[in-house]
Structures are given as structure tokens and as C-alpha cells.
Amino acid sequence: QVQLVESGGGLVQPGGSLRLSCAASGIIFSINFMGWYRQAPGKERELVAGITSGDRTDYADSLKGRFTISRDNAKNTVYLQMNSLNSEDTAVYYCNVYSGRTSYWGQGTQVTVSS
């Protein structure tokens, strides 16, 4: 059974940083894509960043330069380094993994940016 375990969320002050991690287990096929989405209250879920098996990365335009996605293939883990956080980054962040023509989602981790 595939499991995605997210960690690293929490409360941070404006201008601060957080690093999210998502470890995938039970994956049988190669992982084609790993990414992070977020959903703020009253808004639709949106792509934050993604990384392919070939290490090609993609970011939401508004987040380029502040967020960095990376992956450790040996650990089936994807990371999201978030810097210069502001209140608009407050949301539930979801890990997404695409493998074997199936999309898997984590349970979500809350990120709150507030003083």
C-alpha cells in the first residue's frame, strides 16, 4: 500500500523559512513526478512546485526564487524549501506522487505564516 508521509509544516513568522518533506513508501513502479500543491481557505488547490524523474523542475510563477524543490531518489523523498514566507503562503500543503499511471496524495501539512 502506497503511503506518503509529510512533515515540516508549522507556524512561522513572516520572512521565515520552512522545509517540507514527503517520504513515499510502497511504491512499486518508477516515480515519474513528485510535487507539492497547496490549498488556502476558500481557494482551489494549486501547484506549488514539481520535479520529474529527470530532475526537471517547475514552479508557480509567483513562487519562483523563494521556493526550491528537490528530491532524493534513493529515499523516494521530495523536499520543499520555502524562504521569505508571507501570510499569502498560509495553506495546507499536499505532497503528490505520480507513479505507474496513478496519482497519490499525502494527507497534507499545515503551514501558517503569522506574527
pLDDT, tens digit (0-9, with 9 covering 90-100), for 58-93: 999 988 889 999 999 999 999 999 999 999 999 999
Burial label for 39, CB within 10 Å (0-12, 13-18, 19+), is middle
Q: Is the distance from CB of 104 to CB of 22 less than 8 angstroms? A: no
Q: How many helices (H) and strands (E) does the chain have?
A: 0, 11
Q: Is the distance from CB of 80 to CB of 93 less than 8 angstroms? A: yes
Q: How many angstroms separate the CA atoms of 97 and 64, rounded?
A: 21
pLDDT, tens digit (0-9, with 9 covering 90-100), for 3-43: 999 999 999 999 999 999 999 999 878 888 999 999 999 99
pLDDT, tens digit (0-9, with 9 covering 90-100), for 43-52: 999 999 999 9
